């Protein structure tokens, strides 16, 4: 592993110390992302945990705020959402996250699903754009979610949706399609070209580096991260090693490392720390070495990308430092 790095996509939702000790052991930093997920602590509780960590580990912890939909459908919804954003920013957040509940959980009066490009959100995005606030987004699910189980590309998705058919969009025909989700996200970016946007999880287009590249080309103020999608890069590298390597090299200044490890108290703290350590080393081997590797998510072997040291340093450290405003540690 490199001498210092930033895991720029995590969810630090407990005050357990083991993961932080592992962070210090590896001379790392964390970007924690507050998210309006039902089984997470409330947004303010998530924020309070991060503020505690920032006091204890100065310079190593940054976070993104978000807003919930507690006033959805009420006349003051937009005002309340902006007030929540302001509160997070005033407490030191570096930007705002929009989550995938848009497109899945909310409906218009006519019964249609509310998508991220709905005009109701325009004043919120206008506020974000006018005030140069960074926006990060996770829209939709992996494309596998809309495929039959036997056509899914990685076992992690196949096993999850087999166990949770209620979330398997192939079976839930009334929900918007994957293409609808991506088009709505793109339309939002078309409407607000001044927003600096990070398309999380390989721009939610993990299945195709070509599709990710199209968005990075079309939207010059955007970036992407690899959180919880490295296995999809590895799968593509199995058959198209040169293409994946060329993609990383071309967009080396716009790709950010992250794991998306969630510490919400449901997993023992020691296991969380061990998970971080295993992922950091496994992912480093993929990006930085030419080792022949295998991934638990699919069958077959692939070779590490053996990227130049300066490119590895950008992906694991300096891109996150620059984009998210970390100081040296």
Pick the CATH number of 5-324 from 3.40.50.2300, 3.40.50.880, 3.20.20.140, 3.40.50.1440: 3.20.20.140
Whether 129 and 67 have beta carbons less than 8 Å apart is answered as no
Q: What is the mean pLDDT of residues 2-8?
A: 96
Instruction: Tokens for 125, please give them.
Output: 């995005």
Each domain of the chain, given as residue ranges in start order, spans 5-324
User: What does the pLDDT read at residue 37?
Assistant: 79
User: What does the pLDDT read at residue 194?
Assistant: 98
Which band of pLDDT confidence, cut at 50, 70 and 90, is reported for residue 10?
Answer: very high
264 class by beta-carbon count within 10 Å (0-12 exposed, 13-18 middle, 19+ buried): middle
pLDDT per position as a tens digit, 17-54: 999 999 999 999 999 999 987 777 789 999 999 999 99
Rounded Cα distance between 21 and 23, Å, is 5
Rounded Cα distance between 164 and 167, Å, is 6
pLDDT per position as a tens digit, 284-314: 999 999 999 999 999 999 999 999 999 999 9
User: What does the pLDDT read at residue 38?
Assistant: 75
pLDDT per position as a tens digit, 103-130: 999 998 898 999 999 999 999 999 999 9
Helical (H) or strand (E) element with 181: helix 178-191
Percentage of residues in the chain having pLDDT higher than 90 = 91
pLDDT per position as a tens digit, 202-224: 999 999 999 999 999 999 999 99
- Lookup result for tokens 């690899």: 226
User: What does the pLDDT read at residue 140?
Assistant: 94
pLDDT per position as a tens digit, 237-286: 999 999 999 999 999 999 999 999 999 999 999 999 999 999 999 999 99
- Lookup result for tokens 């930007």: 95
């Amino acid at each position: 592993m490199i001498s210092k790095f930033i895991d720029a996509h995590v969810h630090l939702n407990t005050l357990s110390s083991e993961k932080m000790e592992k962070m210090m052991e590896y001379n790392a930093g964390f970007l924690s992302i507050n998210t309006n997920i039902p089984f997470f602590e409330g947004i303010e509780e998530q924020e309070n945990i991060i503020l505690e960590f920032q006091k204890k580990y100065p310079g190593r912890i940054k976070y993104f705020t978000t807003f919930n939909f507690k006033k959805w459908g009420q006349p003051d919804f937009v005002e309340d959402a902006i007030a929540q954003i302001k509160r997070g920013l005033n407490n030191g957040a570096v930007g705002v996250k929009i989550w995938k509940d848009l497109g899945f959980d909310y409906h218009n009066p006519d019964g249609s699903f509310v998508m991220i490009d709905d005009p109701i959100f325009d004043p919120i995005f206008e506020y974000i754009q006018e005030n140069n606030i960074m926006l990060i987004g996770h829209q939709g699910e992996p494309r596998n979610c809309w495929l039959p189980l036997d056509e899914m590309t990685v076992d992690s998705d196949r096993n999850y949706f087999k166990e949770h058919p209620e979330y398997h969009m192939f079976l839930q025909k009334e929900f918007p399609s994957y293409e609808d989700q991506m088009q709505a996200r793109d339309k939002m970016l078309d409407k607000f070209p001044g927003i600096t946007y990070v398309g999380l999880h390989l721009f939610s287009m993990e299945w195709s580096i070509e599709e990710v590249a199209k968005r990075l080309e079309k939207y010059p103020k955007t970036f992407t991260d690899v959180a919880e999608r490295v296995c999809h890069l590895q799968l593509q590298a199995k058959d198209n090693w040169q293409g994946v390597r060329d993609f990383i090299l071309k967009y080396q200044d716009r790709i950010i490392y992250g794991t998306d490890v969630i510490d919400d108290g449901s997993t023992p703290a020691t296991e969380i720390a061990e998970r971080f350590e295993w992922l950091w080393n496994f992912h480093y081997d993929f990006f930085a070495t030419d080792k022949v590797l295998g991934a638990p998510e699919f069958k077959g072997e692939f070779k590490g990308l053996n990227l130049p040291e300066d490119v590895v340093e950008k992906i694991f450290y300096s891109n996150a430092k620059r984009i998210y405003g970390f100081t040296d540690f």
